[in-house]
Amino acid sequence: MLMTGDQYIESLRKLKTRVYLFGEKIDNWVDHPMIRPSINCVAVTYDLAHEPQYQDLMTAESELIGERVNRFGHIHKDTEDLKKKVKMQRLLGQKTASCFQRCVGMDAFNAEFSTTYEMDKKYGTEYHKRFVEFLKQVQKEDWTVDGAMTDPKGDRGLSPSQQRDPDLFLRVTERRPDGIVVRGAKAHQTGCINSHWHLIMPTISMKEEDKDYAVSFACPSDVEGLYMIYGRQSCDTRKLEKGADIDLGNRQFGGQEALVVFDDVFIPNEYVFMDGETEFAGVLVERFAGYHRQSYGGCKVGVGDVIIGASALIADYNGVSKASHIKDKLIEMTHLNETLYCCGLACSTEGYPTEAGNYQIDMLLANVCKLNVTRLPYDIVHLAEEIAGGIMVTMPSEQDFRSKMVVGRSGETIGDIVNKYLAGSPLATTENRMRVLRFLENICLGASAVGYRTESLHGAGSPQAQRIMIARQGNIESKKQLAKDIAGIKE
């Protein structure tokens, strides 16, 4: 069943998810002003699946259940699926100018599908069978699933089993005939509170002594022993201000991250997909990271489209749109943004089938894609800030703009003065100029920057992680041989 956005939101109300924010338990987290924009963002992924013009991108035919499903729950069956994924992500970035949060689960599904198949082939386990049954549930119910990989990690110079506190990497603390008990946490989890289920993966390659940490499983968001502590974002308390609108920048949509804590959570065997197979921990991590690095060639590009549009708009409102340096900046922003899109499509086009039958992206190109994403969005934001001007971060508040307090000699209110002195080109009212400036502040520096600028750097692994993978897959030795052959060098 393909849910609508409203049905999705109502389905969250049925969960007993434990959420904490500012040191307090939030009972009605679905309607909390700081959380609701991120829920609205996910709801768009449901609503667009019902619109005929977007159906080819937003949905796919499932070979598992023989029905049309939301693409976020789909297993890629060819390179067209890989490309449509990137195009879908660009579309959603354009519609929300934020993080729509379902990509991590989709990428985890596809990494798990091939890795569990290969584990079963080697060890005679039933992980793949279990995972496929779980995925069928996901597709039939149209669940949002949080793919959770990142552990707190503690001392980065030590392996999981060497940590002073063993809980700094999520681990198995007890094995029972009917399942396992896990303890630990997953950090900076995108969309976790807004998810029906969680799909947990190890965060790094493991050695034999780290066996208890090589674990992958699924569990519902409201399982006993699981709770979440909501993450702060810049300017987030503006959402708590009475009547806040202009100052929010992006009032309707937003991203979400939280610390997800597992306090001795029991996981039945049917939802365990790895338990101690250390040699496959790294395989799962690399495959998930590859898929997720491909994702950034779509989602960040869609948000980039909106930033370029807002930058062009404020140039109009500032009366400088005809200046040659403004035109050059917009051209450069477009060039950078489309470069990211090219990378996302390239690693998709060069995809190949796994043993399990689903399609994997080209790993080298996916890592090139993400390494570009760690740089180019910063350049795009830099140019946007140049075009907008310093008023983007020094502007008086919406409360000042609305104020009726008389302060001027001729009876002018604070609102009158703000309206007068923040005016720009006759093309726009002062209010509309303020709106686009606040939007750019939000996306370049505020809450949405978490889902664009900062996440571009650290999401799916920091730049060094991509450099390591590029070094592994760049095949320097073969390139040296090419040079020897042409230069006539024989050794």
Indicate whether 488 belongs to any domain.
Answer: no
Same domain (yes/no): 310, 426: yes
Please state the pTM of the whole predicted model. 0.96
Q: What is the spatial order of strands in the sheet that 258-268 belongs to?
A: 24-25, 19-21, 226-230, 258-268, 179-186, 171-176
Domain boundary pick from 246, 278, 310: 278
Residue 451: pLDDT band (50, 70, 90) is confident
Beta strands in 351-398 (DSSP E): 352-353, 359-360
- For residue 448, what pLDDT is reported? 73
Yes or no: say if 311 and 440 are a contact pair by the CB < 8 Å rule.
yes
φ/ψ of residue 59, rounded to 5: -130, 165
Residue 461: pLDDT band (50, 70, 90) is confident
Average per-residue pLDDT for the chain: 96
pLDDT at residue 270 tops 90: yes
Task: Say which of 292, 369, 441, 444 is annotated catalytic.
Answer: 292
Indicate whether 490 belongs to any domain.
Answer: no
Helices 79-96/324-349 angle, 10° precision:
150
Same domain (yes/no): 241, 306: no
243: left (phi over 0), alpha (psi -120 to 50) or beta: left
- For residue 402, what pLDDT is reported? 96
Same domain (yes/no): 301, 262: no
Cα separation of 22 and 2, whole Å?
35
Indicate whether 90 belongs to any domain.
Answer: yes
Same domain (yes/no): 69, 211: yes
Indicate whether 491 belongs to any domain.
Answer: no
Same domain (yes/no): 314, 430: yes
Task: Say which of 59, 79, 190, 354 is annotated catalytic.
Answer: 190
CATH number, domain containing residue 438: 1.20.140.10
Same domain (yes/no): 362, 452: yes
Same domain (yes/no): 138, 271: yes
Q: Indicate the helix (H) or strand (E) that contains 306.
A: helix 278-318
| Catalytic status, residue 455 | yes
- For residue 386, what pLDDT is reported? 97
- For residue 370, what pLDDT is reported? 96
Nearest to 464 by CA among 340, 373, 365, 371: 371
Q: Which domain holds residue 426?
A: 285-482
Same domain (yes/no): 207, 301: no
Calculate ∠ Cα 197-203-206, nearest 5°. Answer: 130
Task: Say which of 230, 271, 296, 341 is annotated catalytic.
Answer: 296
Residue 85: pLDDT band (50, 70, 90) is very high
Same domain (yes/no): 204, 181: yes
- For residue 108, what pLDDT is reported? 98
Residue 324: pLDDT band (50, 70, 90) is very high
Task: Say which of 41, 99, 192, 369 is annotated catalytic.
Answer: 99
- For residue 372, what pLDDT is reported? 96
Q: Which two tokens stand for residue 83?
A: 């490309």
| Catalytic status, residue 299 | yes
- For residue 459, what pLDDT is reported? 85
54 or 465, higher pLDDT: 54
Cα separation of 488 and 485, whole Å?
5
Indicate whether 487 belongs to any domain.
Answer: no
- For residue 366, what pLDDT is reported? 97
pLDDT at residue 64 tops 90: yes
- For residue 41, what pLDDT is reported? 97
Task: Say which of 32, 41, 196, 257 is annotated catalytic.
Answer: 257
Q: Which two tokens stand for residue 121?
A: 């082939």
In this prediction, residues 206-211 reach a mean pLDDT of 96
In this prediction, residues 31-43 reach a mean pLDDT of 97
Domain boundary pick from 234, 249, 278: 278
| Catalytic status, residue 292 | yes
Residue 453: pLDDT band (50, 70, 90) is confident
- The pLDDT tens digits for 288-304 are 999 999 999 999 999 99
Domain boundary pick from 278, 307, 334: 278
- For residue 456, what pLDDT is reported? 87
| Catalytic status, residue 257 | yes
pLDDT at residue 422 tops 90: yes
Q: How many domains does the chain have?
A: 2
| Catalytic status, residue 103 | yes
- For residue 409, what pLDDT is reported? 87
Beta strands in 58-194 (DSSP E): 59-61, 68-70, 145-148, 171-176, 179-186
- The pLDDT tens digits for 335-385 are 999 999 999 999 999 999 999 999 999 999 999 999 999 999 999 999 999
Cα separation of 401 and 397, whole Å?
6
Could you tell me what percent of the chain has a pLDDT over 90? 94
Same domain (yes/no): 43, 89: yes
Residue 165: pLDDT band (50, 70, 90) is very high
Chain mean position to CA 127: 26
- For residue 78, what pLDDT is reported? 98
Cα separation of 447 and 238, whole Å?
10
Same domain (yes/no): 38, 132: yes
- For residue 224, what pLDDT is reported? 98
Same domain (yes/no): 19, 148: yes
Task: Say which of 219, 299, 369, 444 is annotated catalytic.
Answer: 299
How is residue 450 annotated by DSSP? Answer: I
- The pLDDT tens digits for 211-243 are 999 999 999 999 999 999 999 988 899 999 998
137 or 453, higher pLDDT: 137
CATH number, domain containing residue 247: 2.40.110.10
